[in-house]
Structure 1
Amino acid sequence: MKKILIVEDEMITSLEMRMKIESWGYSVLDNVKSSSDAVETAIKNKPDLIIMDVVLYGNEDGITAAENIQKHVDIPIIYVTAYSSEMIMERAHKTSPYAYIIKPFDDNELKFAIELALKKQELKKEFDEKQELHSIISKNLGDVIWILDLKSAKFNYVSDSVEGLRGYTPDEVLEQSMEDVLTKESYQRIMKALPERIQSILSGDESLKVSKHLVDQTHKNGSKIPTEVVTSFLYNENGEVDRVLGVTRKLELPTK
């Protein structure tokens, strides 16, 4: 059951919201009415959602409470308030609330805002978990995965493992062209064969759709890296070849 924290200094309003929210199947934590109590309760209990009044008991308002909470935990916040001045809205906007509801509000408006906020947070959590998994795999994968845009001859994507291979960060590589990545001899050889390969594929020859190359790449320290690169073409919505998907692996040459 999802836990919701209500931060509201008007007791009657707080009790009314609690009854409604519990009737919708959510668990409501003890109501708090000050900024300091809101921060302490949020950090300690980690609710799934906070419904925050902007004007609270004490010297600090709900926006300040939200700012302090966000320094410690990632919890979606819905503001409820009777005030909608431009200054308040601007301050509230900086805390990235999931909704901003003006009192008095309709029950369905609050219910919909809660459902939407919880769903958005669930999707965000799933996305963050996938991003974290991707980062772990990318950093620990020896092979470098990349996508090159043929029109600009620059990279659209490169995995984190490129830093272990070439010494450049992914952001640095995204600023490089294929000519910057390969040695002069390897670049000229690839560019000479590329048009013929594309034309063969467009003519229906699928044998060259996936190809393997031995090329030398440049390291940030100036050294040359022998690599094996497997590439395949990607197509746009018009069926035209516009990108290259590649996997690069360092070749371990036998020592003499």
Structure 2
Amino acid sequence: MNRIYIVEDEPLIADTIRMALEKEGYEICGEADNAADALFGIADTQPDLVLLDITLDGEATGIQLARQIQKLPGIPFIFLTSLADDDTIAQVMATHAAGYLVKPFNEKTLKANIELALHRFKEKQPKAEIVVSTDAFFVKEKSGLTRIDTHSIQFFEAFDNYAYLVTSDKKILLPHTLKSVEEKLPSGFLRVHRSYIVNLSLIESLQENILVIGRHHIPVGKSFRETLMKHLPTL
């Protein structure tokens, strides 16, 4: 489930976008109507993609906010705007935005642009291999091996034919399917959904079919719930 952050200062438009995306299966991890709140929220939630209006409440524009987002690790953004003049387009191009949608737009156009932006971002990411030890993963990157302590890994998430390794401050794309990652994992990790494998020791709560690890809300598949419950000690 891809997580989207919405930055839009028109409440009606923000509500329309949120409902449209939730209907398509996206998770809305945050919303803001100004650059200051948005930058804090984006840094905190680490979304997979930001939908960013150019004209915002407050002094800073969406383009100024985009320049700040670029300093965060690997968060693509799509501009939403009613502006299409040459000067605005030139400023947008300078931010290396993942997309540019002129209002009004329909749900199909919005979804298509989001999926295309996520795909392009994935293709640009350096692929990392993993080598497993009992207490750490060593991620093979161009510069060599990077140690990721096993206890710090919150979960793995499927992404097409790849998988993300997620910690509290990292999201690393691996050139493996979730199934092949699962085969390499030591005990303590469990698949709870067709798209998620979690670190059992980091589960904070389970409410119906959603478990919480840090700031992440992870769905639990019906066919996986019984096995999960067997691994959770209860009083």
Identical counterparts, % of pairs: 32
Say yes or no: does 1:119 pair with 2:119. yes
Q: Aligned ranges for residues 14-163 of structure 1 at < 5 Å?
A: 14-125=14-125, 127-129=126-128, 133-136=141-144
Q: Which residue is equivalent to 1:226? A: none
Q: What's 1:213 paired with? A: none
**C-alpha separation in 2, matches of 1:129 and 1:92:** 30
Q: Decide which structure has greater strand share.
A: 2
Q: CA deviation at 1:120?
A: 1.6
Kindly report the root-mean-square deviation, in angstroms, between the aligned alpha carbons of the 2 structures: 1.8
* Partner Cα distance (2:127, 2:100) in 1: 25
Deviation string, structure 1 residues 72-99 (Cα, Å, up to 9, x no partner)? 2321110010011111111111111111
Give the TM-score normalised by the residue count of structure 2: 0.55
Say how many residue pairs are matched: 136
Q: Is 1:8 aligned with 2:8?
A: yes
AA at the equivalent of 2:113: A
Q: Structure 1: where are the runs of 5+ without partners?
A: 138-256
Higher relative contact order (CA 8 A, sep 6+): 1
- Counterpart of 1:30 in 2: which secondary structure? strand
Task: Compute the displacement of 1:37 (Å).
Answer: 1.1
After superposing on structure 2, the runs of 4+ consecutive aligned residues of structure 1 that deviate more than 6 Å are: none
Structure 2 residue runs of 5 or longer lacking an equivalent are: 130-138, 146-235
Query: 1:128: Cα distance to partner?
Result: 4.8
Q: Deviations over 1:10-31 (max 9, x none)?
A: 0000000000001111100232
Say which SS state the counterpart of residue 29 (structure 1) adopts.
strand
Deviation, 1:132, is 6.4
TM-score (normalised: structure 1):
0.50
Tell me how far apart the structure 1 counterparts of residues 21 and 56 of structure 2 sit (CA, whole Å): 20
Q: Residue type matched to 1:2 in 2?
A: N
Q: Specify which structure has the higher proportion of helix.
A: 1
